[in-house]
Chain A
């Protein structure tokens, strides 16, 4: 009864942060998608000397970040990941756009962009792994 009272108190408190905190849950699929982005970005850095392969890697990475963004979009109580996945997609899409712009893409830019995506995905993954299971 006390447990029920506390839960009701939280839900009726009107404090949205409290409700978000209470209802947030770890999602295996979301964690997998973030890990997939991170791993692809890690591997992508190793092939920046090869423009043809890097173009394909950039396209693949943009698709993976878009998949994560779409997956998170309508999940309830998941605002931080929804917002972060939108930003992550913009970062990855920028590299893809650069390869499709017709201009040459520098090796330095390629390496930095993949590293930025890797670091950002790692930040999200660290937090995601701590979500209540």
Chain B
């Protein structure tokens, strides 16, 4: 069975170009330290880890929405240009 230390080492060795991934790894390590020091209960710790996944889902959905917004701008711009021509 793996230990908390092993997982913390895994998190510490995460080396991504994506700042969001690096930030998430750092946050998980902070939560783990808070749980070890008794600032967070185990139930609270588990919930915060689950929230990390939920936050990433929100992030992904908003990236998708931002792409759709850019497409909308481009489509309407092209329609306006075509109408003028």
Contacts and interface: CB of A to CB of B under 8 A. Distances in A.
Contact of A84 (B48, B50, B61, B66): B61
Contacts of A119: 55
Nearest to B73: A132
Interface in B29-85: 31, 34, 39-41, 43-44, 47-48, 50-51, 54-55, 57-59, 61-62, 64-66, 68-69, 71-73, 75-76, 78-79, 82-83, 85
Interface string A103-126: 101101100110010011001101
Q: State the main secondary structure of chain A at its contact with B.
A: helix
A90 interface: yes
B interface residue count range (under 10 / 10 to 19 / 20 to 34 / 35 or more): 20 to 34
Contacts of B78: 6
Given A21-B68, A24-B69, A103-B43, A84 B75 contact: no
Q: State the main secondary structure of chain B at its contact with A.
A: helix
A24 B85 contact: no
A108 B39 contact: yes
A108 B79 contact: no
Contacts, number: 107
B58 A124 contact: yes
Contacts of A17: 68, 71
Interface of A: 2-3, 5-7, 10, 17-18, 20-22, 24, 79-81, 83-84, 87-88, 90-91, 94, 98, 101, 103, 105-106, 108-109, 112-113, 116, 119-120, 123-124, 126-127, 130-132
Interface of B: 31, 34, 39-41, 43-44, 47-48, 50-51, 54-55, 57-59, 61-62, 64-66, 68-69, 71-73, 75-76, 78-79, 82-83, 85
